[in-house]
Amino acid sequence: MKSLSKVKSLLIDLSGTIHVDDTAIQGAVEAIQRVKSSPIKIRFATNTTKESQSYLWNRLNSLGFNIKIDEIFTSLTLARDLIVEKNLKPFLLLEDSAMDDFRNYVDVNISSEKADSVVVGLAPKRFSYDYMNTAFRILHRGAPLIAVHKGRYYKRKDGLALGPGPFVMALEYASDVKAQVIGKPEATFFKSAIKPFNCETDEVAMIGDVCYLFLSFCTHFSNLKDVRDDIHGAQSVGMIGMLVKTGKYQEGDENKINPQPDFVFNSVVEAIDAILKETSNL
């Protein structure tokens, strides 16, 4: 088993790990503050695509978390950087609250005739037939498809809800275009997230609420080859994986993937306290 004693930096997921919608996980605010009072570096790495970085920052601080805006790393940021790098004019299937990360870089209201690519995030208000059909027609012209991530579902107050993955796969199927995936579970996401830490990957712990924090989709689903490939990608990054039983977690998730999580805790509070104890900071 890996040791927590050498942890110097910490990545923490947001939704389902430190909060669910507008409610903080019990004890999470205080636990985060304990980390920030220690020598351990911290960053919040999220696939959330419904909200911009500034929107997330405002929400988290309204919940009591004392977080700096540059401590939040999102898959939207990576997607935007890719778009700028390739000088694309994307049709954005994103929520209005996520558009702020793009407004100063691209025309967020570009017409379908001028669009040369399609970007898909979690956009419940835009997953209608008309929007999806517009995206399909752009892709059918040969445009690339960029998926901010392919999460199958996420946790809301009223229960689990469809993520962007099913809609991305529908567009892939209809257009015969393979999506380029940006966020978790891609190794690039994690490597980019830890760049400011300036440390080795085995000195980083990642805390999250579902098995795909190890670049794995849980084996509730039948495509086991994808699961193994994703896990292999995560292990090659070399981080310590810490699964918490909140948010999207379903009973027994830790037993449904191979390799299993390095550690399993009831909540982010227990995970953080374990790290601080082992690093002699508690």
Angstrom distances, CA of residue 186 to CA of 36, 99, 110, 212: 27, 22, 28, 10
- Indicate the pTM of the whole model: 0.78
Q: What is the pLDDT along the chain (282 residues), one digit of tens a residue?
A: 688 999 999 999 898 899 988 899 999 999 999 999 999 999 998 888 888 899 999 999 999 999 999 999 999 989 999 999 999 999 999 999 899 899 989 999 999 999 999 999 999 999 999 999 999 999 999 999 999 988 888 778 888 889 999 999 999 999 999 999 998 778 888 888 889 999 888 899 989 886 544 333 333 333 433 322 232 334 457 888 888 898 877 788 777 766 778 888 999 999 999 999 999 755
Torsion angle, CA of 161/29/214/86, rounded to 10 degrees?
Answer: 80
* Helix residue ranges per DSSP H, the chain: 28-36, 53-62, 75-86, 129-140, 165-175, 187-193, 224-237, 268-278
CATH number 3.30.450.20 given to 9-47+188-280: no
Beta bridge partners of 72: 44
* Same-fold call for 9-47+188-280 versus 86-181: yes
Domain ranges (residues) in the chain: 9-47+188-280, 86-181
33: nearest Cα among 21, 47, 18, 22: 18
Specify the amino acid at residue 7: V
Fold of 86-181: Rossmann fold (3.40.50)
